[in-house]
Structures are given as structure tokens and as C-alpha cells.
Amino acid sequence: MFYMLIIFVLVFGRISSLATPEEVFEWKELTFAWPNDQAKQSAINEGNYIAENNLPLGLDRWRNKLFVTVPRWKSGVAATLGYLPLDEPINKSASIIPYPHWKANLLPKGDKATEDTHIISVFRISIDACDRLWVMDSALADILGEPKVYSNPAILIYDLNTDKLIKKYLLKQEDLKQDSFLANIIVDVPKGECDNAYAYIPDLGGYGVVVYSLKENDSWRLKHNFFHFDPLHGDFNVGGVNFQWTDGVFGLALGKPDENGYRTVYFHPLASLNEFSVNSAILRNKTLVNDPHIYYEFKLEGTKGEKSQTSASVFDEKSSTVFLTQLNRDGIACWNTERELTPENVPVVIQDSERLVFTNDIKIDTERNLWILSDKMPQFLFRQLDPNEINYRILKAKVDDIIKGTKCEA
């Protein structure tokens, strides 16, 4: 047996094992940093806080703050945007602190969001190199109950050094389709050009991508066949729940900038096994929106393999590696973009059928930690979570530790 092992190592290289991420936060139910006990009790009495209806979904890190989103899937979400302090010692079941403050997270009393500071419902966020937090507000509350639209979806941009809202942009009606659902935002900032930032917003329900230019304060929409879901791969089995989704373009990851400052944008529909790409020069040029020739600028990179449906993805520049959540596999996979995209080159590098049930979002911070949020969302949506179990987790691991000994290692 020993000699067989030696032969295996000589032929196939080092034996790698799955990485084990550190569990930083865990909750049975989310709690919030209320001003006082009276405020909490009042929220409970008025139905503004129903603990079991608060599910964390998106995250990103800035210095000593880990931002977390809590979409308003159901009524009783106390705050849709907040953060967790990362100062030591860390409380693993810390209460979420609303950002930028409680007032911004309260639903408007009328039918419309009358103040620019209102945040209705947030799925994902993105922090850029200029210390700004970009928030994609769906403006839709109580999605699974009595849905209420307060405005068109909006981009909100905060200065993280001052916690001030510096821009709110309502998407135009022509940016939207009847079935539009905007749940993600990726920010592309050319080096040293903070005022020339772009946001790429995938529309998973309307099968398009909306682009926003900060400099022009304008937005436009692109369509492509690659933005649609694959009808052969919309079947999911996660955490004992079987369901079918038709989610289109969902995750985007920005590659390295070229000599002109443009990047390869890797993307995929959620209900698909394929990964695609397009150069950001195409997305940024609004004059190309109706040009039929740009169809051929979009490329199929390859297929990730069976059961490799992915929600979020993120790119690590140092290793040229894209990390991809694996919803049907309870884990995370990786792909070194300097290799051909084949199932053999997309290994699962983190897997845990207890702690990583529905890896909803991932981000890489400036220290090259991969942060992972898992939240058992299928049980939350289609069944009921057990309040006596750990349901929500945030974990992290060093990128180099994750890819060591795998085909993603440079």
C-alpha cells in the first residue's frame, strides 16, 4: 500500500486535502444591536422584528467591519443592512449593528420611499478600492408575503470613512423588465480613477446586465443569450430540499486589468454549469447596447462539471483564481483562469455538509481572506428552520491555504 501511495504522488503530484475554514460567526437566529430593550420589545409588538424571518445573505469586509445584508424576504426584518465588528475578541453570535443607522433601515410609513436615506431591501453589496460601500437596493419588501414596491431599484453609495450617503441613483424604467430581479452588484474602478467607477448589476429574472457609470451618472442595459438559465440544470437538492429555479445571470467576477485598464468579466447564470466571459470595454460602452455585432464578444469559457451550479464568485488577482460557490455540493470550488476551464480544472476545495449548506455569498478582503456566508436558504424559503440549530454561519480561510496542492495553485 505504501509503494502504491508513492507511485500515486510521483504520477499525480502532491496529495491535497480540503481546506477547513475558520468559523467566525454563527447564529441560530439573527439578533440586532437595539438602542435599548424597550426599542426591541416595541419592534416585536408591532411586527417589525420577527426573529425567524431574518436571514443573512450577502457580505463584504472593510477594515474592522464585516458588512452583512438581510433581505426583506418576509415581514419583520429589523434592518436590511448592517455590520459586525471584527475587533478582538470576536463574539461568535454578535448582534448586527444597522448601517449607517437605525433610521435608514426603517421602512417608510407610506407607499413610497420619501427620503434618499431609506434602504428598503438589500441582497448583496460591494466595497471598492476607494473606501466606498455600493448597495443594490431592490426596493421590494415582503417578497414572499405581501410584496410591496417602494420605488425603482436603487444604487446607494456610502463613504465608509464618514458613513455618509454620497450618491443615490434610481435605475431607469428602460433598465428594467417585467420579471427583473436585481440581487447583486460588482464595482469596477480603474486604478486611480475613483470618479470613473462602473457598477455591473446582473438581472437574474430579466436575463440582462445593467451597467451604471458614476462619472456620467447614467445607466444602460445589455442583453445576451448567455444571460439566460439552462433548462437542463435548474434542479437543486440542497440540505434535504429539492427545488427548481430559473435564475439567469447571477455571479460576476472581475479579472486582472489589462494595459488599457479593462478587465475580463467572468459570469454565469445560477441555473447553469457553464462559465462565460466578456471584456469590460464592451460593458462600459453604452453606444454598443443595440449593436448586434457585440454578440460575438461574449465567450463560453467552459463547463464546471456536474452539480456545479454557482451563486457568487470572486477573483483573486495574485493567483489568477476564481472561487465559485457550489450550491449542490455544500462547498466552494476554484478555477485558475490560466488553465482551460474543464471539470477536472475546477476542484472542490472546501466542503462541509453541515456548515456549508447553501454557500450564498463569498468575498476576498485586502488580506486575501476568503469570506463565506452559508445560510440554509432553501429551508428558509420552502420549509422552516429549526431555531434550536445553528442556521447561519460566516467562515473565512486564507486563499493560499485553500488552493495549496490543487490545480488552482499558481
Q: Over the stretch 80-90, which tens digit does the pLDDT of each residue have?
A: 999 999 999 99
Same domain, 89 and 231: no
Residues 230-254 pLDDT 10s: 999 999 999 999 999 999 999 999 9
Kindly indicate the confidence band of residue 117, based on its pLDDT and cuts at 50, 70 and 90. Answer: confident
Establish if 60 belongs to a structural domain. Answer: yes
Kindly indicate the confidence band of residue 11, based on its pLDDT and cuts at 50, 70 and 90. Answer: very low
Same domain, 152 and 256: no
State the cell numbers at 23: 468559523
DSSP-assigned states of every residue in 22-85: EEEEEESS--B--SSHHHHHHHHHTTS--GGG-----EEEETTEEEEE---SSS--S-SEEEEE
For the four alpha carbons of 271, 272, 273 and 279, in that order, the dihedral sign comes to: negative
Last residue of a domain, one of 170, 186, 201: 170
**Cα–Cα distance, 309 to 203 (Å, whole number):** 17
The pLDDT assigned to 116 comes to 72
Does residue 396 have a pLDDT over 50? Answer: yes
Same domain, 166 and 224: no
Place of cell 452559508: 374
Does residue 2 have a pLDDT over 60? Answer: no
Establish if 285 belongs to a structural domain. Answer: yes
Last residue of a domain, one of 170, 193, 228: 170
Establish if 352 belongs to a structural domain. Answer: yes
Same domain, 165 and 231: no
Same domain, 228 and 106: no
323: CATH = 2.120.10.30
Please give the mean pLDDT across all residues of the chain: 94
**Cα–Cα distance, 248 to 268 (Å, whole number):** 8
Q: In this structure, are strands 65-69 and 198-203 parallel, antiparallel, or unpaired?
A: unpaired
Same domain, 142 and 261: no
Find the helix or strand (DSSP H, E) in which 280 lies. Answer: helix 280-284
Beta bridge partners of 27: 392
Query: What is the percent of the chain with per-residue pLDDT over 90, rounded to a whole number?
Result: 93
Last residue of a domain, one of 129, 144, 170: 170
CB atoms within 10 A of CB 25: 22
Establish if 198 belongs to a structural domain. Answer: no
DSSP-assigned states of every residue in 162-202: TTEEEEEEEPPGGG--TT--B---EEE--TT-GGG-EEEEE
Establish if 149 belongs to a structural domain. Answer: yes
Place of cell 481546506: 19
DSSP 258: -
Establish if 197 belongs to a structural domain. Answer: no
Amino acid at 176: L
Same domain, 329 and 397: yes
Kindly indicate the confidence band of residue 10, based on its pLDDT and cuts at 50, 70 and 90. Answer: very low
Top pLDDT among 253 and 16 is at 253
Q: Which of 327, 319, 313, 182 is nearest to 256 (CA)?
A: 319
Please tell me whether residue 159 adopts helix, strand or coil conformation: strand
Give the chain's largest Cα–Cα span: 74
SS3 breakdown of the chain: % helix, strand, coil, rounded to 5?
Answer: 15, 35, 45
Q: Which of 318, 361, 331 is nearest to 19 (CA)?
A: 331
**What is the chain's alpha carbon radius of gyration, rounded to the nearest angstrom?**
21
Q: For 39-60, what is the mean pLDDT?
A: 98
CB atoms within 10 A of CB 348: 18
Same domain, 256 and 140: no
Does residue 364 have a pLDDT over 90? Answer: yes
In total, how many domains does the chain have? 2
Same domain, 225 and 159: no
Does residue 1 have a pLDDT over 80? Answer: no
Same domain, 263 and 410: yes
The pLDDT assigned to 134 comes to 98
**Cα–Cα distance, 117 to 106 (Å, whole number):** 10
The answer to whether 138 and 210 have CB atoms below 8 angstroms apart is: no
The pLDDT assigned to 3 comes to 42
The pLDDT assigned to 113 comes to 58
Same domain, 163 and 245: no
Establish if 186 belongs to a structural domain. Answer: no
Residues of the domain holding 84 = 23-170
Establish if 5 belongs to a structural domain. Answer: no
The pLDDT assigned to 332 comes to 98
DSSP 96: B
Same domain, 250 and 368: yes
Q: In this structure, are strands 359-364 and 348-351 parallel, antiparallel, or unpaired?
A: unpaired
